[in-house]
Amino acid sequence: MNDPLAHVRDLFDLDDDVVYLDGNSLGAPPRVVAERVREVVREQWGRRLIRGWSEGWWEAPERIGNRIGRLLGAAPGQVLVADSTSVNLFKALMAAVRNTDRAEIVVDAGTFPSDGYVARSVAELTGLALRPAPPEDLDLRDTTAVVLLNHVDYRTGRLLDMAELTAQAHAVGAKVVWDLCHSAGVLPIELDALGVDLAVGCTYKFLNGGPGSPAFIYVPRHGQAAFEQPLTGWTGHEVPFAMDPEYRPDPGVSRARVGTPDIISMLALEAALEVWDHVDLRDVRAKGLALTAHFRSLVEGLPGIEVITPADEWRGHQVSLRHPDADRLVERLAERQVIGDHRPPDVLRFGFAPLYNTFDEATRAATTLKELL
Catalytic center residues:
112, 179, 204-205, 349
Q: Does residue 187 contact residue 285 with C-beta atoms inside 8 Å?
A: yes
Handedness of CA 84, 280, 154, 324 (dihedral sign): negative
Return d(Cα 135, Cα 148) in angstroms, integer: 10
CA 3 to chain centre: 25
Measured from the Cβ of residue 110, the count of other Cβ atoms closer than 10 Å reads 15
Q: Order the strands of the 341-343 sheet from edge to edge.
A: 306-307, 318-322, 347-351, 341-343
Cβ-proximal residues to 305 (8 Å cutoff; 6+ apart), any chain? 299, 321, 322, 323, 369, 373
Going by the annotation, the residues of the binding site for pyridoxal 5'-phosphate are: 85-86, 112-115, 179, 182, 204, 234, 260
Q: What Cα–Cα distance (Å) separates residue 320 from each residue in 119, 284, 367?
A: 26, 20, 16
CA 99 to chain centre: 28
Q: Does residue 235 contact residue 261 with C-beta atoms inside 8 Å?
A: yes
Going by the annotation, the residues of the binding site are: 85-86, 112-115, 179, 182, 204, 234, 260
In terms of Cα–Cα distance, which of 111, 132, 228, 131 is closest to 181?
111
Return d(Cα 85, Cα 203) in angstroms, integer: 9
